Structure 1
Amino acid sequence: MELTRKINMNKLPFLILLLCFITSCSKDSDGPEPTNYDYYYPTNEASITAKQIGDGSGTLDPKGITISKEKLYVCNGNVLEVFNAVTLAHIKTIANYTKGSTTIPFVNLTSVSIDNGRIYVGSVESRIFVLDESTTLGINTVGNGQWWQTFVHVFGVVVKDGLVFVKEKEKSIKVFEASQITETSDWNLKPFAKLNTLSGFDQVYSMDVSDGNLVVAGRDAKSYLYYNIAGIRANATASITTPLEPVKAPFEDAKPISVVFSKDWAITSENAGNTSYLRLYPKDEFNNREYKPRVNTSDIMGQNPFGTIVSTVLLNDRIFLSDNTNKTIRVVKLNKSTIAEQK
């Protein structure tokens, strides 16, 4: 008997119980060992809304999110919110870049990434703000807020393995070395390399690094885009003139919106028509461009359908979803059930 991996999430608990009943009833104590099948499904755990921020009278317009040292960072309009990622208690709101006597208000934040004790915050106002993770005070900025200078706006940032990847308007990703950014470096840094996303415009973009590749959720190219980091380094100089193009495997019916990697999973959100999906792929398969999701759902148990999920992040068995449509951070738990099938 072949078991289908994609299961209608609305019927999942019933199906699991039914399969357990059937397999237990048919078990022969003298027969061969049963074959085990693992099934994964999400359940609602909690949510973060505007009511949990300050006095509860403000707004929540969530975009890029990340977690570091059990703190959840959320790009919320013109501020960066910080929560305890375990208790979900609000810790503070960061509204400005502050370094000595210099204060620059945050405006239209799109993305956030944390690496090696630094917080990198991207803004549509054509800047990357770099903060000290422990104090949240400013280290430096890249870009001066003018779109015709360093960046043509910023719609995504991720920092891994000493490289800073910045998605700007249209088809461009600029790559910097983290070591270029110091307390005294110039704001108008020259990129180390350039990448081409094939198509694009002015949407928030999600990226992460896995298995030696930068992987971009290419929402406009309708594909996940893979850039080999060793290849980026080897061809960096030439890429300034001719930006490097990705390896890709197009989807027929889905538009990738976000991607993030855990130890075992590629956690993604994808849109198909007007429906938004949470999809989890085994990491090794995803890195090989094999797309067979083990979790594939547009809601939780038939209720509360997802809006557009622009960013995702995982902490232990909890997945945080930046649901921009519904103006909430949804927290779902990833559950596992093992079913033994007696042959």
Structure 2
Amino acid sequence: MKRTFKYILPIICTLWCAGCSEENINEVDGPVTEPQENYTSYWYYSHEVLETFTFEAMGLAESKEFNPYVVAHRGDTLFIANIGTAGNSLILFDKKSNRSMRTLKTWTFNGQEKSFGSNINAIVSAGNRLYVAEVGSRIHAFSLPQMEYISCIGNGNWWDAVFQAQAVTVKDGLIFARDKDGKVSIYKESDVTPEKYQGVRRYKQSSKGPGNADNNGFAAHYMQEDGNGRILLTAYEASSIRVLDPSKVTDEMKGGESIDLDETWVLPFKPKSFALTDNYIYVTGSNDSITVFNHDRERVKVLKAIPGFTFTRVDHIYRESDEVLWVSDYNTRTLVKMGVFKAEIREYETVDENIVKVQAARTRSGEVEGELYVNVRTHQIVDPAEVE
């Protein structure tokens, strides 16, 4: 079976349907003067390192001074939580110039110098604010883009308004924070003012949810709206991802009520963080890899390494776009910018119902790589050992 091959650059083309496993295409070049050849093409996705960033890119002197944890972005600015020996800090990184613009360790509020007293667990950009949660039971609010300090939820006492918040998201004017014991504390953004510095009280607090346990090991957690009005929240010790319904949070809600939906996603490992794209869900966890699921919750790929980098201990993964994911690798103290690329195959041999053998494929750099196998149902490259 002889076909031609065409490579598509990062997923910016909206003219093709990524959800189809195969597609009949009648390609036309110029005016139609005679019938064109019909052919069947297949899509696949690949992952490559775009860039890696270590202490040098952050303007630090030694490797041990830098260890990236959770990240977030707004425009061309990447916010990086540094938990290295340089001290707990928030690095503002310019994605265009690939350099650190500023490192935030301390600030002044009401004439007093303040600082991050512990590791940063969560960073959330919401409207004109940046929320930064630290292990020491504080959630700080800064203005965007000026990064002026606004206020703080919590006073550092874990039995008070914040219980070591380990994941945070914001929806419809409410701040959702995952407490160390698995409960979810909810605060009103309107309460976070300079006048209520360390005096903001919980608006509501939900139950732990199904099968949850305390996070005494301080494993990474993450929460985010799923695009359908719900909130997904990793539950490390419960080996699951919870599905929360924020519409259950009302003035009439009683303390300790559940806001979990009966849609808990049980996983074969303990999840830490995830990145949602249009086609896949990338999940990090106790398997020290990136596990790729489709939106039917079917596992389609496990990334232990990608061209240019081998993962050792992945704590956080963050979606900048469907084409760019940021990965924090703890043991190597490296922040990896990972690219997701989409290609169309027109030169292949059919192996079985779902597998094709690609004779040659053009990489992002324009080079041609050797044979590979692709599962045309999941659109992922598969290990030859899984085929033979």
TM-score normalized with structure 2 length: 0.71
Match for residue 85 of structure 1 among 95, 99, 112: 95
Deviations 1:7-53 (A, max 9, x none): xxxxxxxxxxxxxxxxxxxxxxx999433332111111111111222
Kindly state the Cα deviation for residue 170 of structure 1 after the two structures are TM-superposed: 1.6
Any conservation in 1 of the 2:49–2:308 contact (CA below 8 Å)? no
TM-score normalized with structure 1 length: 0.79
Could you say if the C-alpha distance between residues 241 and 170 of structure 1 is closer, same or farther in structure 2, counting changes exceeding 3 Å?
closer
Any conservation in 2 of the 1:227–1:247 contact (CA below 8 Å)? no
Deviations 1:259-305 (A, max 9, x none): 23345543322333xxx2223444xx2xxxx2124553111149523
Identity %: 17
Q: How many residues align?
A: 303
SS in 2 for 1:135: coil
Output the CA distance in 2 between the equivalents of 1:249 and 1:154: 21
Kindly state the Cα deviation for residue 192 of structure 1 after the two structures are TM-superposed: 2.5
Kindly state the Cα deviation for residue 256 of structure 1 after the two structures are TM-superposed: 1.6
Kindly state the Cα deviation for residue 193 of structure 1 after the two structures are TM-superposed: 2.6
Q: Give the letter aligned to residue 246 of structure 2.
A: I
When Rg is computed on C-alpha atoms for both structures, the one with the higher figure is: 2
List runs of 5+ in structure 2 lacking aligned partners.
Answer: 1-34, 351-388
**2:302 paired with 1:304:** no
Q: Give the letter aligned to residue 134 of structure 1.
A: P
Kindly state the Cα deviation for residue 111 of structure 1 after the two structures are TM-superposed: 1.3
The residue number in structure 1 matching 2:70 is 64
The residue number in structure 1 matching 2:47 is 42
SS in 1 for 2:286: strand
The residue number in structure 2 matching 1:270 is 285
Kindly state the Cα deviation for residue 183 of structure 1 after the two structures are TM-superposed: 2.9
Could you say if the C-alpha distance between residues 75 and 93 of structure 1 is closer, same or farther in structure 2, counting changes exceeding 3 Å?
same
Match for residue 232 of structure 2 among 198, 215, 218: 215
Kindly state the Cα deviation for residue 118 of structure 1 after the two structures are TM-superposed: 0.6
Any conservation in 2 of the 1:36–1:338 contact (CA below 8 Å)? yes
Could you say if the C-alpha distance between residues 302 and 119 of structure 1 is closer, same or farther in structure 2, counting changes exceeding 3 Å?
closer
Match for residue 226 of structure 1 among 240, 243, 268: 243
Kindly state the Cα deviation for residue 163 of structure 1 after the two structures are TM-superposed: 2.0
Of the structure 1 ranges 200-209 and 248-257, higher mean CA displacement relative to structure 2 is found in: 248-257
SS in 1 for 2:342: strand
Could you say if the C-alpha distance between residues 90 and 34 of structure 1 is closer, same or farther in structure 2, counting changes exceeding 3 Å?
same
Output the CA distance in 1 between the equivalents of 2:270 and 2:344: 31
List runs of 5+ in structure 1 lacking aligned partners.
Answer: 1-29
Q: Give the letter aligned to residue 242 of structure 2.
A: L
Within 5 Å, give how 1:1-343 maps onto structure 2.
Answer: 33-57=38-62, 59-77=65-83, 78-107=88-117, 108-195=119-206, 196-197=208-209, 198-201=212-215, 202-210=218-226, 211-230=228-247, 232-234=248-250, 237-251=252-266, 253-272=268-287, 276-282=288-294, 285=295, 290-301=296-307, 304-315=310-321, 317-340=323-346
Output the CA distance in 2 between the equivalents of 1:279 and 1:229: 27
Could you say if the C-alpha distance between residues 161 and 326 of structure 1 is closer, same or farther in structure 2, counting changes exceeding 3 Å?
farther
Deviations 1:310-334 (A, max 9, x none): 2423246221112223211111111
